Amino acid sequence: MDRRAFLEIVAAAAAIPSFAGQASAQPAAGEWGSPTFDLHCHMRPEAARTIAHLDGAGIAKANLLTRGTVLENVKAHDAAAPKRFTWFHSYDVTKADAEQVLTQAIKDGAQGFGEMKYHAAADGPEYARAFALAADLKVPILIHFQEVDHTPNEGTWATGYAKTFADVLKKYPKTTFIGHADAFWANVSADYRNQEAYPSGPIVKGGVTDKWLSDFPNLFGDMSANSGNNAMSRDDAFTRDFLQRHQEKLIFGSDCACADGHGGGISQGNNPAASRMVGKCVARETLTLLKKSASPEVFQKIVWGNAHRLLKIPA
Ligand SMILES: [Zn+2]
Ligand SMILES: [Zn+2]
């Protein structure tokens, strides 16, 4: 065997992860053709259930979104599947001790804040404290924006996004914002006026979310839930162009509550407006949509690379 043939064999062997080293090595590409990272995975009460969703949907790693007393469960997840999870923590921004609780979570090992879903104005003083803290601690903050109730008297969340959030993005240039949910995604289209949770039909170019992803280096998009899937299902030509243009700024997430990664159980919390996802796994639906709408390179960034860059963790 000459030296070159020997080196080729060594290189090929190195590319095959051993089972023993799999947790820390690059996971296999699997059924999606790229390893995948779910930025928006609500932590289940038991690690086995969270892992069942990941395995069922063919997802390698996930960022757990948590709130309340969670540290023991986060540790249990890490013990059950070492190196497979990161986590964010959330706390009500209207409470006086919000900064204290959020700071403690970062000290305990959380990589960011989220999902932040509270009844306060997006540009109000309550959220402002969390935005400033995220900049100080150099962690991203993931926000749920919603202007239309899903059920009677649900109330709205981080309101005023389309009208006010450009000012917030300007005022906090050192804060890394991750936008999510109905108002964030409906505003890819310039004709959105809070008329419904999930608008349909072709996209009108010039929506504020599309514009701000271009204009502000500190804004990223979490593609999870029916909101992200719906927006990217409206207009094939727009979607292909949008994914290409914002390929450094978009991150795959599921927000799927289904039991098995195949649509068993309830995927979108019985939200009547999201009935298009009944019996489906949102993770699978969105991965399928992204795969057919993006080049393999762009797909890999959105479902894997960008999340690692944003969370400052090795891929
Ligand atoms: Zn949400
Ligand atoms: Zn699912």
- Residue 115, preceding peptide bond in cis (omega within 30° of 0): yes
Strand 219-222 to 112-116 pairing: unpaired
User: Would the CA dihedral through 108, 110, 113, 119 be positive or negative?
Assistant: negative
Minimal CA–CA distance to 143: which of 116, 120, 119, 163?
116
Distance 169 CA to ligand 2 centre (A): 32
Report d(CA 192, CA 231) in Å as an integer: 12
Q: What is the pLDDT of residue 238?
A: 98
- 192 and 207 in contact (C-beta within 8 Å)? yes
Is pLDDT above 90 for 12?
no
In this structure, which residues have their CB less than 5 angstroms from ion ligand 2?
256, 258, 281, 283
Q: Is the pLDDT of residue 24 over 50?
A: no
Q: Which ligand is nearest to the CA of 222?
A: 1
* CA–CA separation, 244 and 228 (whole Å): 16
pLDDT at 273: 87
Question: What DSSP designation does 217 have?
Answer: T
Phi, psi at 116, each rounded to 5°:
-85, 110
Give the C-alpha separation, 106 to 6, whole Å: 47
pLDDT of residue 27 exceeding 90, the answer is no
- In the numeric block, which tokens belong to residue 36? 């995948």
282 Cα to the center of ligand 2, angstroms = 5
| pLDDT given for residue 167 in this prediction | 98
pLDDT, tens only, 88-140: 999 999 999 999 999 999 999 999 999 999 999 999 999 999 999 999 999 99
Q: How many angstroms is it from 258 CA to the middle of ligand 2?
A: 4
Query: Residue 5 pLDDT more than 60?
Result: no
**Ligand 1 centroid from CA 181, angstroms:** 5
3 pLDDT above the threshold of 70: no
| pLDDT for 154 | 92
Name the H helices within the chain.
3-15, 47-57, 71-80, 98-107, 125-137, 161-171, 182-186, 208-215, 225-232, 236-245, 282-293, 296-300, 306-311
- Residue 23 Cα distances to 37, 55, 286, angstroms: 14, 14, 25
What pLDDT was estimated at residue 25? 56
How large a percentage of the chain has pLDDT more than 90?
A: 85
User: Residue 230 Cα, ligand 2 centroid: separation in angstroms?
Assistant: 16
Q: Separation of 285 CA from ligand 2 center, angstroms?
A: 9
How confident is the model over 190-239, as pLDDT tens digits? 999 999 999 999 999 999 999 999 999 999 999 999 999 999 999 999 99
Mean of pLDDT values over 261-272: 87
Cα torsion 63, 67, 71, 72 to 10°: value is -100
Separation of 158 CA from ligand 2 center, angstroms?
A: 26
Going from the Cα of 10 to the center of ligand 1, the distance in angstroms, rounded, reads: 46
What token pair was written down for 204?
């009108």
Please give the Cα distance from 205 to 184 (Å, whole number): 15
Sorted by sequence, the CB contacts under 8 Å of residue 210 that are 6+ apart come out as 188, 242, 246
Query: How far apart are the CA of 214 and the centre of ligand 1, in A?
Result: 23
Identify the nearest ligand to the CA of 52 by its number: 2
pLDDT digits (tens, 9 = 90+) for 153-196: 999 999 999 999 999 999 999 999 999 999 999 999 999 999 99
Which one-letter amino acid corresponds to residue 58?
G
